[in-house]
Amino acid sequence: MKKLFVPAAFFLCAFANAQFSVRLIITDVATRKNDDIYLSGNFNNWNPKDENYKLKVFGGTRKSIVIKDMPAGVYAFKFTRGAWEKVETTADGRDINDRVLEVKEDVSQEFTISGWKDDYPDAPKRYTASPQVHILDTSFNMPELNRKRRVWLYLPKGYATSSKTYPVLYMHDGQNLFNEQTAPFGEWGVDECLDTLQQKLGKECIVVGIDNSAHRATEYNPYDDPKEGKGEGKQYLEFIVNTLRPYIDSKYRTKKGPENTFIAGSSMGGLISFYAMIKYPQIFGAGGIFSASFWAAPEIFADAEKFNPTTVQRFYMYAGKMEPANMVSNNDKMSDLLEKKQKYIIRRVTAPLGRHNEATWRQEFADFYKWLMN
């Protein structure tokens, strides 16, 4: 993930066909005043160095950008100096929330930038993975994509001393699941959560975490995108289904069948998890769909509409009201669509204070796991 509080892209909500002019002016920058500044947001797929959104000098030391013909809607954005390692921060180097702008008329707003991320080198992070977490492989072969990837494995506490078999949960963005040291925007704490819950519930599970890569935007999208390029989501899922899953089943004591095989992820990871459910119902019987980026792949609604499963599938559909633009409305739209089908069981969650970040998904994971194990 590259973005602060936004490991994936955010969303645009067009309220009307009207279009407006938006002028954003930076009146003062604390440091590096002569460097180029770029605007990055949900309107340009969070590209940190989009030359079409480069600010121009505007009277003295001020810089500005004018965006014409912008549809009405709610937009999230940040200023960068061309990379997410050079994104704006507070004056003492702390991350800031996305700036939000509601456009319903011509807009002109002024801003100041208090600091830059690269002015404040990060302190070393602690290794926080529990003893139940192992690196399965630092370069697991992905023949379907001709790539290699680090894969994490969480085994229940009693695995080594029992002969039991366990269901398996496959999760994306593996570097964000277990270890603060490898999570650029904070970890989910999946291992600590399961250490506690599995003891209370008496229901244990193996978790397999697959790292993302520089190809995250295409690997987690089954459809082509005009900006990001050709979708590789189908090949990525083929890797999980045809290469990784058989390996896990052959090396570890797993319960087989869709009733014991699950998948989960957030943002673009939520999108590819949802697609996995409708593409491979014979493999995945339940899915955690956290803040899915349905906006990035509108074709998925038509595919979900056409699909009629022959087996029961369970969907945990989560969205937060503090997430920008159309997150909740898209989650509701997809949930409404699924609820019309007899074989789907839906748990719809709309969190009033939910944001699009790892801290929020970490809080939600425990409820998801309780639901998953029921």
- CATH code, 82: 2.60.40.10
CB 17 within 8 A of CB 23: no
Give me the DSSP letters along 150-219.
EEEEE--TTGGG----B-EEEES-GGGTS-GGG-TT----HHHHHHHHHHHH----EEEEE---TTHHHH
Q: In this structure, are residues 347 and 374 in contact, taking their beta carbons and an 8 Å threshold?
A: no
169 and 238 inside one domain: yes
pLDDT digits (tens, 9 = 90+) for 177-196: 999 999 988 899 999 999 99
In a domain? residue 125: no
CATH number at residue 188: 3.40.50.1820
**Amino acid found at 347:** R
Tokens read off for 75? 């937009």
Which residue among 71, 95, 118 closes a domain? Answer: 118
pLDDT class for 199, splitting at 50, 70, 90? confident
CA-atom Rg of the chain in angstroms: 21
- Domain membership of residue 290 (yes or no) is yes
How many domains does the chain contain in total? 2
In this predicted model, what pLDDT tens digit does every residue of 276-304 receive, in sequence order? 999 999 999 999 999 999 999 999 999 99
* 2: pLDDT strictly greater than 50: no
Same domain, 215 and 329: yes
The Cα 272–Cα 264 span in angstroms is 9
* Averaged pLDDT of the chain: 91
Say yes or no: 188 and 275 in one domain.
Answer: yes
Does the residue 69 lie in any domain? Answer: yes
Over residues 313-324, the pLDDT tens digits come to 999 999 998 887
Amino acid at residue number 127 = Y
Same domain? 146 vs 220: yes
Residue 3 neighbours by CB under 8 Å, 6+ apart:
46, 78, 84, 87, 185
pTM for the model: 0.74
Statement to judge: residues 75 and 180 lie in one domain: no
Both 144 and 104 in one domain: the answer is no
Tokens representing 145 are 């994509």
Domain residues for the domain of 307 are 133-373
- Give the number of other Cβ atoms within 10 Å of residue 31's Cβ: 11
Same domain, 158 and 56: no
9 pLDDT more than 80: no
Of 118, 147, 164, the residue at which a domain comes to its end is 118
Residue 58: inside a domain:
yes
Q: Is 318 exposed, middle or buried (0-12, 13-18, 19+ CB in 10 A)?
A: buried
Task: Tell me: pLDDT of 13 over 60.
Answer: no
Q: Which two tokens stand for residue 208?
A: 């397999």
Q: Do 109 and 138 sit in the same domain of this protein?
A: no
At 205 the pLDDT is 97
Whether 332 maps to a domain, the answer reads yes
* Residue 365 shares a structural domain with residue 219: yes
